[in-house]
A and B are shown apart, each in its own frame.
Chain A
Amino acid sequence: DGGITQSPKYLFRKEGQNVTLSCEQNLNHDAMYWYRQDPGQGLRLIYYSQIVNDFQKGDIAEGYSVSREKKESFPLTVTSAQKNPTAFYLCASSTFFSGDTEAFFGQGTRLTVV
């Protein structure tokens, strides 16, 4: 089945620690995105990538980093510089160059600072 896989589902981070969230897609999509969702709120864009080896900052990129070495993978690192990392993180992908461009989402990673 084609889709987007995020792991882990739950992640706990200690103060001052970097953690990496995994996102893999087998939809052959060019574009991939990371969003953050806080309780009772909509989604805010952290980073996006339209092609391999290229990515751009979204609205709330401070304290986060990404890489796009393969078309299928777009990992997100939450660094110690992110002061309030507790949130629900969602990865998405879409086509970019042609066709319908709706984004499809993974099932999310819930990150908690302990």
Chain B
Amino acid sequence: EDQVTQSPEALRLQEGESSSLNCSYTVSGLRGLFWYRQDPGKGPEFLFTLYSAGEEKEKERLKATLTKKESFLHITAPKPEDSATYLCAVQLSAGNMLTFGGGTRLMVKP
């Protein structure tokens, strides 16, 4: 059975304290892995797509990496405005549907 697991469920950081969020997956035939940011009461906002092991993408303070079993979202020197829930999702070779993990709720305190 295809599974996507995110850890930790919640993460509290001080402003400027760098950390990483994890997304591990067991799927048959990965087409792509996606990271989204979701603010309370809003729809998810697309951040990154990763297609192959070893691939990395960056956007401001965020950097996403991919291995054959997991992906990391590294947050460097976070600011309070980075507080949100971060969702990862996998897309299988068989279709376009996304299977989501449970999300990591990030709280950055000033």
Contacts and interface: CB of A to CB of B under 8 A. Distances in A.
Interface of A: 4, 6, 31, 33, 35, 40-45, 48, 50, 58, 88, 90, 92, 94, 96, 100-108, 110
B78 interface: no
B96 A108 contact: no
Interface of B: 4, 6, 31-32, 34, 36, 41-46, 49, 87, 89, 91, 95-103, 105
B101 to A, nearest CB: 5
Contact of A101 (B43, B96, B100): B96
A104 B43 CA distance: 9
B87 A107 contact: no
Contact of A42 (B32, B42, B91, B103): B103
B12 to A, nearest CB: 16
Contact of B91 (A43, A44, A101, A108): A101
Contacts of B105: 40
Contacts of A101: 31-32, 91, 96
A110 B27 CA distance: 31
B96 A105 contact: no
A102 to B, nearest CB: 5
Contact of A41 (B49, B99, B102): B102
Nearest to B91: A101
Given A43-B44, A92-B98, A105-B36, 4 more contacts: A58-B97, A90-B44, A92-B43, A103-B98
A98 to B, nearest CB: 11
7 smallest A-B Cβ distances: which pairs?
A: A105-B43, A42-B100, A43-B100, A42-B102, A107-B43, A105-B44, A108-B43
B96 A50 contact: yes
